[in-house]
Structure 1
Amino acid sequence: MSNIVIGTAGHIDHGKSTLIKTLTGIETDKTKEEKLRGMSINLGFAYFDLPNGERVGVVDVPGHEKFIKNMLAGSAGLNLVLLVIDANEGIMPQTREHMDILTLLGVKDFIIVLTKIDTVDEELMMLVKEDIEQQLEGTVLEDAPVVEVDSISGTGIPTLLDTIEKKCETIEPTKATGQPRLNIDRSFSLKGFGTIVTGTLLEGELHVGDDVIIYPQEIKTRVRSLQVHEQDEEMSGPGKRTAINLTNVTLEDVGRGDVLTTKDNVTVSWMLNVKINLLPSATEGLKLWDRVRLGIGTTETFARVVPLGVEQLEAGEEGFVQLRLEEQVVARDGDRFIIRSYSPVHTIGGGVILDSQPKKNKRYDDSVLASLAIKEEGSIQDILVELLDQQGKGLSPKGFIATNIGKSEAEVADILVDLIAEGTIKEINGKFISINQYNRIANDLVAVLDKYHKNFRLRQGMPKEELKSRSELEMKGKEFDTLLGYYLADNLLKETNGSLSLKDFEVVYNKYNQAHRDKIESTLLKAKFTPPSDEDLTKGDEQIQEVINSLVGISVIRLDHTTVIHKNYYDEAVNSARDFITKNGSMTLADFRDMTGSSRKYSMLILEYMDKMHVTKRVENTRELY
């Protein structure tokens, strides 16, 4: 057992803060306003040691209905919750709402703490306990241990500590996998230190000196120092309440709702595809364009609802929904959230994010629904393949995959070996692509080239950059080049003189094009080393220009954008230059002009092209072999 964070939940004035003060000796109601009003407004943090010496963190969250969104902020990263119930009152409205929120957020471990027992007679205590048992039946709390305490007198506190210790021993600690991620729930400034942020480290490890980024602003900063439970540390791990002193960040730059992590470890989204569970107590269902409050991480924003596959969701139902957000949120697939009604405000449901960067979906698109079903229920292998199927960028590194499916890189490596062996995944230069996506990109490229060939029958192919642009692939140039290499090796495409075409494509000349070709080649052969310009050859005829372009690399060489030379004479020029330089060590422009009988203008054009093709290189006023 380690890295356990305990939260409190319950109705206002049921004794949460007093209980924590008794357990920890720390008063979590710290602000003047909180003391005057006699209730928690902001999150309070403390810690205490269990009988076995293990130290646990505590988050005291406000119970008043007006401060439910602060309660949501405090629930991120909780391992165990003490559900505090006043023995005089039993379960109250905010008790029930806290239970609903925590259950929807995936909390499974609870201890029910009956407080103020010294003020209740035995008969009322029995009635309250029976009512609690009935109300918790069928919920995740029905088997939770019940401990009776009085925080003022100390009655039952040792029993509570023993119960917490036993419960913590059964909780699996969060593994230190992935990149560090912390939802910021507080930010403040201390003289001589600067800006400090706090939160529970959800995953990964954070070290003094680490470079980190604050999202959604994407502010680059560095960890100056760390504290865990008010002790300076060099490192903090998952599940630990952590205070982080940041460099080069002002208090105005950062606040609750922001996320501290590493580059590209999260997405900043305007839309989310989610699975929602509506509470049976929800007064109304969810229909198209309903406005709701979305609580995710430590932030709350507004969203519009777009049900997928159904007209609307009714109370107690579950289903897929696209949330269109009014502000960007920072999220990852697998993150849990809460939705509350716009007005009057109450919790109506929650769920899990299945796609943190979706496109606008049609409401009844079977492929979208199937994809979401895989992400919700599929095996880890299915989820990995689905992730790669949806990657418009094509090739994905191992770290990206590990981050998005919630596994370590070592675990992902083992899964990838199996998927590659069965032919579901392809490895390319240390990155990975699903076979479905590999074939889909290939089909897209084929479709683009096929259309191009029909429109430009006399062109040998499409320039690579144009193909990349027209295919609308979201990948970098090097990755596109790498994929092209594989498609060329697979004999799906072919490359001719730097242009790409379908493997079976050949330029076919009709009798008119052939006549133009014959005349062009004849003219260039007669011109030798002083070729005419394109304009002289075409006389403004676009069809003749197309024929000239089709011959480039075959029987003509394009020296610049206005001039071509017959390939026979270019090859002769290359051979003559090589022989001359081999014999004499170098060659001047005048030497080359005299050899070819050309003019200075055309001699310069030919030599500059030879330099470009790495036949020769210019050294001051002479040419040497490259």
Structure 2
Amino acid sequence: MADIVIGTAGHIDHGKTTLIKGLTGIETDTTKEEKTRGLSINLGFAYLDLPNKKRVGIVDVPGHEKFIKNMVAGLPGIDLILLVIDAAEGIMPQTKEHIDILTLLGIQHFMIVLTKCQTVDEDLKELVKEDIKEQLSDTVLKDAPLIETDAVEKIGLDELKMAIQHFAEQIPEKTIQEVGRLNVDRVFSVKGFGTVVTGTLIDGTFKVGDELTVFPSGKKTKIRTIQVHETDKKEAFSGQRTALNLTNISKEEISRGDVLTNGVSLEATWMLDAKVACLPHAKLGLNLWDRVRVLVGTQEVFARLVPIGQERIEANEEGFVQLRLEEQLAVKTGDRFIMRAYSPMVTIGGGQVLDAVPSKHRRFKQDVLDSLKVKEEGNMDHLILDFLVNQQAIVGTVKDISDYMNLPKDSVQSMLVSLKEEGAVIQLSDSEWVHLNKLQQIKRLLYQELDQYHKLYRLRPGMPLEEVRSKVKNILTPKQLDKVVTLLAENDDLKLSNHRLSHPDFKIELNKYQEKVKQQIEKKVIQSGFTPLKKEDLAQLDEKNGKDVLEMLEGQSLVSLTFEYVISQEYYQKSVDLVKAFIRKNKSMTIADFRDMTESSRKSSMLILECLDEQRVTKRVDNTRELMEG
């Protein structure tokens, strides 16, 4: 059975607080002002023990119009709403606004609780029930069960408890995310313990000892103790009403509206991309630069509204917007929010966050609209592809995607593997992935750099990899570049040889003077045999072309032993063959052995053998060489 949180909604004085007290025995109107005025101002909290002994949390949200902000603050993480309606009054204007808010916040599960049923006769009660059915026929509550109660007379409470229990048994267990998140709705201090905060844990888990980050301030704190429904716990889970005793932070350093997380999946932002719905009664619609109040989680901030893809969003219509915030928020993709007019303070719409940390958009750019539509769709594969193609970085990690989509890493990895099989993404490592379009982007960038290089150095076989790395260091790490280059070379999109990169269509063409120098260099190194020659001396054979021709020959007819010496490819291969044959026969070889075989100097022998060590043909063991193979 899932952990659930129940919320109440309804017009002022329709009996929400009395109903909760009748169900739980807990008084949620706790402040002197609330008791004096007879209405809920702040969020009230209680817990209900069901017949099967399962305990569920209850949030009593205030119903008065002036306290809508507190109502919205109580809704994140709520699974079931009890819409409370007085049997004598029926649906009131405030009830309708609550329904609008609940619908905009994506609440799916409702029970209609008719209260004070013993105060009216049967005929009036039936008329009210018919009116309720009619007024809710075009809302998400049209099929919600209706339960008659009278908390004072203890009527219908057992039936309501059984209905709640049945709901809790049917709702699937919540997927536990790796990173916990809690919207702070109350902050207070307890003598001898320090700062305490409360809220509904809407993601993941919190454990005693966890280090938490407070957003948007970025302050750090730790969990000293946890309570769930007034019981000490070592761990709290998503969906539970939670109280946290925090260390190293005063109650002045944290406030209602802040967000606590034990991971790094949040980021404070000044903008939000969203899909919004404008309510039918918002006759002026949603217009460019309208100043609105955004209620999300337990926060309320002002924002300027920027419609995307259309001039304005009319009443009873939907559309995309970018909200330019006047204060920073810390939310996640998928979070829902309410918009209220700056003045008068009426609810005009609401929506869902599609991108929690966007960049500024041009209002009518097609690729921006396409991306927002993908995010609206909610297709997980499409969302992953959209993230990978539109993020600034070339390479995306499983963690990046997991944090962005608010999904467990193993689920993301599984989806990425499926997308790889479809050819939509490329895997660079266990945790690094690239969208096919991003791979094309880096290929175009490499082509651009190589084309410029080839024009400047027409006889060089390609750009050294170290130089390539320096060109893309701001977008790819050296390891990432090496993997990308290897992949492109395997597909013949690039040529990779002797640690040099070249365009696949690049060919070296020599004029007659360069051809003559080439022949001179090759002849000289062949004649030199097992004696390496200095590159500097060879380049001086022709002041104009010698250096470029020499660089061209390296990796072809010449082998570079060091940055200073080369040998012909023919004699390098002879060296390899002689060394292998000698060691297979004699088990090992000394420099003197090689010198005697090749009739070369000790210095020449050492240069060749050290190169063979570097190429992993041989390995040095004390003063001898052995083969690496076998």
TM over 0.5: yes
The match for 1:453 is 453
Alignment of 1:374-385 (within 5 A): 374-377=374-377, 379-385=379-385
Report 1:591-602 matches (<5 A): none
Q: In 2, are the aligned partners of 1:178 and 1:403 still within 8 Å (CA)?
A: no
Q: Which residue of 2 aligns with 1:332?
A: 332
For 1:327 and 1:464, locate their aligned partners in 2 and report how far apart those are by CA, in whole Å. Answer: 46
Q: Deviations over 1:134-181 (max 9, x none)?
A: 321210112222233333343333333233333333333423244322
Which residue does 2:269 correspond to in 1? 269
5+ residue gaps, structure 2, are: 524-531, 576-588, 593-600, 604-610, 617-622, 626-630
Return 124-133 or 316-325, whichever deviates more: 124-133
Matched, 1:113 2:84: no
1:484 counterpart residue number: 485
Give the TM-score taking structure 1 as reference length. 0.79
Separation of aligned partners in 2, 1:292 and 1:465: 53
Q: CA deviation at 1:481?
A: 3.4
SS in 2 for 1:161: helix
Q: Which deviates further from its counterpart, 276-285 or 259-268?
A: 259-268
Label 1:466 to 1:583 Cα distance change in 2 as closer, same or farther (>3 A): closer
1:299: Cα distance to partner?
1.7
Say whether the 8 Å CA contact 1:200–1:240 is kept in structure 2.
Answer: yes
After TM superposition, the structure 1 = structure 2 runs for residues 192-591 of structure 1, keeping only pairs within 5 Å, are 192-377=192-377, 379-433=379-433, 435-453=435-453, 456-458=456-458, 461-462=462-463, 464=465, 467=468, 470-471=471-472, 474-495=475-496, 498-506=499-507
How far, CA to CA, are the matches of 1:128 and 1:95 in structure 2? 14
Counterpart code for 1:355: D
Classify 1:333/1:283 alpha carbon distance in 2 versus 1 (closer, same or farther; 3 Å).
Answer: same
Distance between the aligned counterparts of 2:428 and 2:399, measured in 1?
Answer: 15
Which amino acid in 2 is paired with 1:371?
Answer: S
Report the Cα offset of residue 230 of structure 1: 0.7
**Distance 1:499-1:256 versus aligned 2 partners, 3 A rule:** farther
How far apart are the structure 2 equivalents of 1:277 and 1:94? Answer: 19
Of 508-517 and 52-61, deviating more is: 508-517
Segments of 5+ residues of structure 1 without an aligned counterpart are 523-527, 576-580, 585-593, 597-608, 615-622
**Which residue in the other structure is 1:184 paired with?**
184
Q: Residues 424, 47 of structure 1: CA spacing in aligned structure 2 closer, same or farther, 3 A cutoff?
A: same
Distance 1:473 1:90, change over 3 A: farther
Query: How many residues of Structure 1 are paired with residues of Structure 2 in the alignment?
Result: 605
Any conservation in 2 of the 1:229–1:241 contact (CA below 8 Å)?
A: yes
Q: CA RMSD in A?
A: 4.7
Tell me which residue corresponds to 2:528.
none
CA apart distance, 1:551: 8.9
Residue aligned with 2:252, SS: helix
Q: Show CA shifts across 1:413-459 (max 9, x none).
A: 54444333332333332135355245334433334324533663456
Partner deviation per Cα, 1:488-536 (whole Å, 9 max, x = no partner): 33332344665533233356567899999999999xxxxx999999xx9
Asked if 2 retains the 8 angstrom alpha-carbon contact of 1:385 and 1:434, the reply is no
- Amino acid paired to 1:501: S
Give CA deviations for 1:370-404 in whole Å, capped at 9, x if unaligned: 23323322643333333333344344444544454
Aligned pair in 2 of structure 1 residues 35, 624: CA closer, same or farther (>3 Å)? farther
**Matched residue SS, 2:268:** strand
What's 1:102 paired with? Answer: 102
1:158 alignment partner, SS class: helix
Residues 520, 548 of structure 1: 8 Å contact kept? yes
The AA in structure 1 aligned to 2:34 is E
Partner SS state of residue 213, structure 1: strand
Matching residue's letter, 1:132: I
Q: What SS does the aligned partner of 2:74 have?
A: helix
Separation in 2, partners of 1:291, 1:4: 36
> Among the aligned pairs, what percent are the same residue?
47
Corresponding letter in the other structure for 1:481:
D
Which secondary structure does the structure 2 equivalent of 1:12 belong to? coil
Query: Alpha carbons of 1:566 and 1:376: their partners in 2 closer, same or farther (altered >3 Å)?
Result: same
CA apart distance, 1:97: 1.6
Change (3 A) 1:441 1:150: same
1:315-371: per-residue Cα shift (whole Å, max 9, x none)?
Answer: 111122222323332222222222222222222222222222333333233333223
- Per-residue deviation, 1:549: 8.7
Query: What's 1:45 paired with?
Result: 45
| 1:460/1:261 CA distance change after superposition, 3 Å | farther
Distance 1:325 1:512, change over 3 A: farther
Asked if the contact 2:2–2:171 (Cα under 8 Å) also holds between the matched residues in 1, the reply is no
Match of 1:151 in 2: 151
Partner of 2:582: none
